[in-house]
Every structure is written in structure tokens, then in C-alpha cells.
Amino acid sequence: MSSVRETESPGNIGSNKSTGQHEELGDFSTTLRVLPISALAMGIGALCAFVALALLRLMGLFTNLFYFGRWNTAMVSPAGNHLGVYSVLVPIAGALIIGVMARYGSERIRGHGIPEAIEAILINGSRVEPKVALLKPISSAISIGSGGPFGAEGPIIMTGGAIGSMIAQLFHLTSAERKTLLVAGAAAGMSADVCFARCSRLACGGVVAL
């Protein structure tokens, strides 16, 4: 009993005198390495803001292509189309295209986007494949543009997180640092999406006020 008390005493935490082995404790100290990681996170945040804007424009492009047959990136409602009863076939066509992409591209594009980002952190060591970063926004834009009942937040979060993860893998960072940059990209994408929505509402409010 005395040896147990001696090992568990405050002065001997993390060590075992009887065996000579040392137990590793978590180190939460900050080093100068946090500076380049912070700089990368800020750069990823700025980049993902433009990526979020590009994804929203891509959704507008597919909406115009599917329902109006024109090349335009403006965000429009499909309600004003002239397809008549044939408009019910548009979501089916979009679903078939996405099914082919998921079958022959990557099954990771299935889902909302946020669960996949969490899975990448918890299971895959914050690693996201480059093809997921490419196929996920395209499939999401096709889904939403063809009339799918989905929002832009999940795909934007997944795309931003994928960009952060790829940049971290490019610089051969550790798992914890990859997680930091993945979350930075995901947060930047979400913030940009919310900012665009608020700015559009403010602009509409200003027009109404005028």
C-alpha cells in the first residue's frame, strides 16, 4: 500500500519509481509553431470565403441550366420556369447525375456534409481526399440547382473543411494541426454563407426603404 501511495503522490505524478517507466502526460504548452499555423488558418479562411461565393454561383448556374436553359450564375427561383409538367423530371435527372458521380467518383459525396466533416476529424485523422473536395460542391450544386430540398450550409462547410485538410496535407502537418485547419476552413465557409445571406437581406431592406 505504501508503494501505491508513493506512486500516486503529487510529486510523482507521471512516473513510476518501482519500474522506472514514465507515463506521457498531455502537453498543452504553446510554441512558436502556432504562428505559422495561425497564418495558414487565416489564409484558408480568406480563401474559403471566395470558395463559398463560387459554390453559391455554381448553384445559381445549375438552376438556370436546368430550368431556363441559359448560362447565368444569378440566384433565381425555379418557380418561374416554362417547363410545365416536365419540371418534375428535373429533380430526377439531377438525382441520376449525382448517383453516377457517387458510384464512379466517390461515395463520400453522399450526405449532408456536416456529418462527413465530423467523420473526417474523428475517424480519418482529419484527412479529406482531393476528389471529395472537387466532387462534393459540384454534386451539391447539381442537387440544389435541380430542385433538391437541401441547403447550402452543409456542402459549404464540407468544402471549406476539405480545402483546409488538403492544405494541411500539402505541408505534411500533424493530425492535430490538420484538425485545426480543417475546422478553420469549415468555419470560414459557414461564416461566409451566413454573411452573404445577411448582406442580401440588408440590401433588400435598403431597396424597400428607398
Q: Which of these ranges, 87-96, 112-121, 157-166, 195-204, has the smallest mean pLDDT?
A: 195-204
- The band of 23, judged by pLDDT with boundaries at 50, 70 and 90, is low
CA atoms of 179 and 165, how far apart (whole Å): 7
135-161: average pLDDT: 84
Confidence of residue 10 (pLDDT cuts 50, 70, 90): very low
Instruction: Give me the chain's average pLDDT, please.
Output: 77
- Residue 6: is its pLDDT beyond 70? no
Band (pLDDT 50/70/90 cuts) for residue 13 is: very low
Instruction: Report the distance separating Cα 176 and Cα 182, nearest Å.
Output: 10
Determine the pLDDT at residue 127: 79
- Alpha helix segments (H runs only) across the chain: 2-8, 34-68, 89-104, 114-122, 130-145, 153-170, 175-209
Flag whether pLDDT at 62 surpasses 90.
yes
**Is the pLDDT reported for residue 66 higher than 50?**
yes
Distance between CA atoms of residues 206 and 168, nearest Å: 41
